[in-house]
Amino acid sequence: MPVARPTHVDIDLAALRHNFRLVRRQAGAGRQVLAVVKADAYGHGAKGVARALESEGADLFGVALLEEARELRAAGIRAPILILGGIYPGQEAGFFEPDLIPCIFDLTTARRLNAAAKSAGRILGCHIKIDTGMGRVGFFNGELQDMLPELNKLANLRIDGVMSHLAVADEPRHPFTAEQVERFRRALARVREASHRPRFLHIDNSAALFAHDIPECNLVRPGIVLYGALPSGHFAGRLDLRPVMHWRTSIALLKTLPTGSGVSYGHRFIATRPTLVATLPVGYADGYNRRLTNCGEVLVRGRRVPVAGTVCMDWTMIDVTDVPGVQVGDEVTLLGQADGQWIRAEDWAEKIGTIPYEVFCQVSKRVPRIFKS
């Protein structure tokens, strides 16, 4: 293997395991934990993350795509996998593998899956999704009366789970969550009246797990908290989470610019003093967001230093004038912890007007993930 450029993400598996144990405690004895590892485990690397969580005792995994489920199986993951993101025409047979669980959102898809299962001589366990107010996917409560008898006719599908998703759980005082839970309860009653016996009842994402108690559920579906970030600012200071992703690079070049010199495209940074600029081999093609131009911060030798000028595709410059002893090859932390200091995904997200989820997902495939146990 040729030596790679010094830009990589360290994945702290001890932190991941710590966060999982926190989730497990919060879920309590009566609930199973489905660890959401969609989108390559929110950019952390699904194979390594799922392996660590499976050995820590995760009961199920959740992914968005059938392709993601197959990737986990290829990596040796044996736990059941719930595919949250639908069943597209032509994919039906892909769900016949043991313990790959489809989510049913609509009758047309259910019929198509049932027909495929029937011709393969299979009975498929599936979860049905209720749209209690997310306005995205699932059956509305008002549809259930007509839908359930139709689902009953699909002899090759078995309803093993009933689930819904919360729209505003990350705002703990928002009254709409209680309304969604109430709709979910009514849906469960209807499902049972139609003589289905779902084993799994679930609605909790990370925010709901830590902000609401929904006693009838026996499975929780946390994602973001496993990775050590908060569902929203409402949880600040309340959860003992440890960030898992630490994005690092090192200084490729140092140059001193005289007062008045410009840096990078558009000369959006002009040196107002003789300025020591360090060039980093990382850019927006790696997911270092271009909106961090002139406002991002990184850690060098225990100090926070600012991004200088426009973030380029493959390069980013920082102003290290105030870092004593700075040298080519010094480690630079873009996200995560170094020398007891933090660049948190929450801070970064606020600067560029997004959420930690997107910050993690944006770290591109070009950046190797290195798992540290």
Ligand X SMILES: *Cc1c(COP(=O)(O)O)cnc(C)c1O
Residue ranges for the known binding site for substrate are: 136, 313
Taking CB atoms, the residue at the shortest distance from ligand X is 223
Using CB under 6 A, which of 36, 66, 307, 318 touches ligand X? 36
Q: Is 84 in the site for ligand X (CB under 6 A)?
A: yes
CA–CA distance, 347 with 335 (Å, rounded to integer): 10
Q: Is 32 helix (H, G, I), strand (E, B) or coil?
A: strand
User: Which residues, other chains included, contact 25 with Cβ-Cβ below 8 Å and sequence gap of 6+?
Assistant: none
Q: Which two tokens stand for residue 34?
A: 């489905």
Q: Is 132 in the site for ligand X (CB under 6 A)?
A: no
Active-site position among 255, 265, 365, 372: 265
Q: How far is the CB of 103 from ligand X (least distance, A)?
A: 8
Q: Is 161 in the site for ligand X (CB under 6 A)?
A: no
Q: Is 363 in the site for ligand X (CB under 6 A)?
A: no
Q: Is 138 in the site for ligand X (CB under 6 A)?
A: no
Q: Is 48 helix (H, G, I), strand (E, B) or coil?
A: helix
CA–CA distance, 285 with 245 (Å, rounded to integer): 18
Give the count of beta carbons closer than 10 Å to the beta carbon of residue 83.
25
Active-site position among 38, 227, 288, 357: 38
> Is the separation of the CB atoms in 201 and 162 below 8 Å?
yes
Give the count of beta carbons closer than 10 Å to the beta carbon of residue 270.
14
Q: How far is the CB of 229 from ligand X (least distance, A)?
A: 9
Give the count of beta carbons closer than 10 Å to the beta carbon of residue 363.
22
Q: How far is the CB of 85 from ligand X (least distance, A)?
A: 8
Does 357 participate in catalysis according to the annotation?
Answer: no
Q: Is 154 in the site for ligand X (CB under 6 A)?
A: no
> Is the separation of the CB atoms in 9 and 370 below 8 Å?
yes
- For residue 170, the one-letter residue type is D
Using CB under 6 A, which of 7, 114, 180, 206 touches ligand X? 206
* Count of residues that bind ligand X according to CB under 6 A: 12
Q: Using alpha carbons only, give the angle 18, 36, 350 rounded to the nearest 5 degrees.
A: 80
Q: Is 133 in the site for ligand X (CB under 6 A)?
A: no
Q: Is 301 left (phi over 0), alpha (psi -120 to 50) or beta?
A: left
Q: Which helix (H) or strand (E) segment is 62 a member of?
A: strand 60-63
Q: Map 117-145 to HEC letters.
A: HHHCCCCEEEEEEECCCCCCCCECHHHHH
Q: Is 222 in the site for ligand X (CB under 6 A)?
A: yes
Q: How far is the CB of 117 from ligand X (least distance, A)?
A: 23
Q: Is 102 in the site for ligand X (CB under 6 A)?
A: no
Does 129 participate in catalysis according to the annotation?
Answer: no
Q: Which is nearer to ligand X, 180 or 279 (CB)?
A: 180
The residues in 37-66 that bind ligand X, with binding defined as CB under 6 A, are 38
Q: Is 221 in the site for ligand X (CB under 6 A)?
A: yes
Using CB under 6 A, which of 48, 133, 231, 283 touches ligand X? 231
The residues in 292-351 that bind ligand X, with binding defined as CB under 6 A, are none
Q: How far is the CB of 162 from ligand X (least distance, A)?
A: 13
Q: How far is the CB of 37 from ligand X (least distance, A)?
A: 10
Phi, psi of 100 (to 5 degrees): -100, 120
**Bridge pairing between strands 303-306 and 269-270:** unpaired
Q: Single out the segment in contact with ligand X by CB under 6 A; choices: 90-98, 110-118, 219-227, 345-353.
A: 219-227
Phi, psi of 49 (to 5 degrees): -65, -45
Q: Is 165 in the site for ligand X (CB under 6 A)?
A: yes
Residues annotated as part of the active site: 38, 265
Residues of the shown chain interacting with ligand X in the complex, contacts defined by CB under 6 A: 36, 38, 84, 165, 205-207, 221-224, 231
